[in-house]
Amino acid sequence: MDERLSGHDTFLSTTLRLKQPVHLPELPVRILTFDDVTVLTPLVCVLSQSQDGEEWGGTLLIPHGARPPVIPDDLAQAATEAGVDTSSWSPAEARHLLTFLSEAGPGPVRTERIALIIAALTGPS
């Protein structure tokens, strides 16, 4: 994949419809999403060893659907105290805010990021 897959369950099996170099109706694959990359691992071997390293394309079919964002308890508590309705966030807004927060470990940086998120959401538009 040329970009990281986010918002979907990973470590699950799904299907990939290959376009090139092998035309298959469906190729079973496992989705593995790590910190900065998503890897699809075929569950069956369809490419010959001579095609190893070649670029190929396809369409990922994800029947599992997008995961709803999970608001961490500390952010949920701060939002409630500030009167911020986290259920009104768009999926893109939730991903952005939660990624920003998740990059901070426990401690003062995380506390500051929660304060920044709440200030941004309660400030003048």
Q: Determine the pLDDT at residue 121.
A: 86
How many CB atoms neighbour CB 27 within 10 A? 19
Q: Determine the pLDDT at residue 76.
A: 93
Running along the chain, 125 residues long, what does each successive block of 10 average in pLDDT? 54 71 72 75 71 70 68 94 88 82 89 94 74
Q: What 3-state DSSP class applies to 86? A: helix
